[in-house]
Amino acid sequence: MTGVWRRRLDWIAVHSLGLALGLMFALPVLFVILTAVMSDSQAFTAQLWPREWHWENFVEVFDKAPLLKYLVNSLTYALLATAGMLLSSIPAAYALAKLRWRGRNAVFLLVVGAMMLPPQVVAVPLYDTWSSLGLTGTLVPLIVPYFLFDAFSIFLLRQFFLTIPQSYVDAARVDGCTEFQTLTRIVVPMAKPGIAATALFCFLYTWNDYFGPLLYTGEKPDQWTLSLALSSFKGMHHVQWNLTMAVTLLIMVPAVVLFVLAQRSFVKGITFTGVKG
């Protein structure tokens, strides 16, 4: 009898703790949602439930700042970078996972090294180069690198490609496929979930990026992205918390929608990056 009760108590304790943790993570998001639809004056108070629902806040923010322009800039950066990443990283990851060549291990270690390198380390010479090309103040320095090299994506795609059995690749080769055909007809279709996860990570990183846009477009407000605009939104309008939170929500929505749509690939991708030794 005592054993049963202990088990039940244990169940209750663990589940209430789990629920409390879930709430702890979720509550700030709830505050954001509720504050975003409050009146300006209520957003300053401690009352958490909106007295009146001001849905028009989501419209008003577009009058306060050129958000549509920032949205277009953010989308340009995130979508072009992701497309470029796929073009350059898929073949590179294939060469690192499925082709045998001398120097492969060394090149892979360079990729891992580049992945760990803080962006600040290479910022000075890169800024110098882009500035002498007259391209600072535009999104070009942010997008172009993805068409050539993105260490994290190459690393992640390689890990996904390694899970495709070598026998499929060998069979395609025996049937007379070129390496390019093996990649496009066998490996890419089989690794679709992994490619989706990698693309999502790339989109999210660039969508949320702050350092890159600050470095290259900080002085040119018409080239700002949403992340950069949000950081100054609060300052521009003297702490209108309701509007600031409305903008915050507008920026978070695409990320959350993507997560919900691709939850499985996402979680798989995250655990994959955990590289269990």
Q: Is 29 in the site for other proteins (CB under 8 A)?
A: yes
Instruction: Tell me how far apart the alpha carbons of residues 166 and 164 are, in angstroms, rounded to a whole number.
Output: 6
Which of 102, 112, 88, 130 lies closest to 216, judged by CA? 130
Contacts 24+ apart (CB under 8 A), 245-248: 245/32, 245/33, 245/35, 245/36, 245/43, 246/36, 246/37, 246/57, 246/58, 246/60, 246/61, 247/61, 247/65, 247/67, 248/32, 248/36
Which region, judged by CB under 8 A, interacts with other proteins, from 49-57, 61-69, 168-176, 185-193? 168-176
Looking at residues 55 to 74 of the shown chain, list those that interact with other proteins (rule: CB under 8 A): none
- Kindly tell me which of 62 and 149 has the beta carbon lying closer to other proteins: 149
Instruction: Tell me how far apart the alpha carbons of residues 13 and 19 are, in angstroms, rounded to a whole number.
Output: 10
Give min distance, CB of 267 to other proteins, in A: 6
Q: Is 23 in the site for other proteins (CB under 8 A)?
A: yes
Angle subtended by helix axes 241-261 and 2-36, to nearest 10: 130
Q: Of 57, 73, 82, 88, which one interacts with other proteins (CB under 8 A)?
A: 88
Looking at residues 211 to 250 of the shown chain, list those that interact with other proteins (rule: CB under 8 A): 211, 214-215, 218, 226-228, 230-232, 234-236, 239, 241, 244-245, 248
Which region, judged by CB under 8 A, interacts with other proteins, from 51-59, 60-68, 185-193, 269-277? 269-277
Q: Of 9, 12, 19, 133, which one interacts with other proteins (CB under 8 A)?
A: 19
Give min distance, CB of 55 to other proteins, in A: 20
- Kindly tell me which of 60 and 255 has the beta carbon lying closer to other proteins: 255
Give min distance, CB of 96 to other proteins, in A: 8
Q: Of 1, 2, 3, 25, which one interacts with other proteins (CB under 8 A)?
A: 25
- Kindly tell me which of 26 and 59 has the beta carbon lying closer to other proteins: 26
Site size with other proteins, rule: CB under 8 A: 115
Looking at residues 90 to 119 of the shown chain, list those that interact with other proteins (rule: CB under 8 A): 91-92, 94-102, 104-105, 107-114, 116-119
How many C-beta atoms lie closer than 10 Å to residue 178's C-beta? 10
Give min distance, CB of 184 to other proteins, in A: 12
How many C-beta atoms lie closer than 10 Å to residue 153's C-beta? 27
Looking at residues 31 to 60 of the shown chain, list those that interact with other proteins (rule: CB under 8 A): 31-32, 35, 44-46, 48
Looking at residues 114 to 153 of the shown chain, list those that interact with other proteins (rule: CB under 8 A): 114, 116-129, 131, 145, 147-151
Residues 98/166, Cβ–Cβ less than 8 Å? yes
Instruction: Tell me how far apart the alpha carbons of residues 205 and 168 are, in angstroms, rounded to a whole number.
Output: 33
- Kindly tell me which of 59 and 113 has the beta carbon lying closer to other proteins: 113
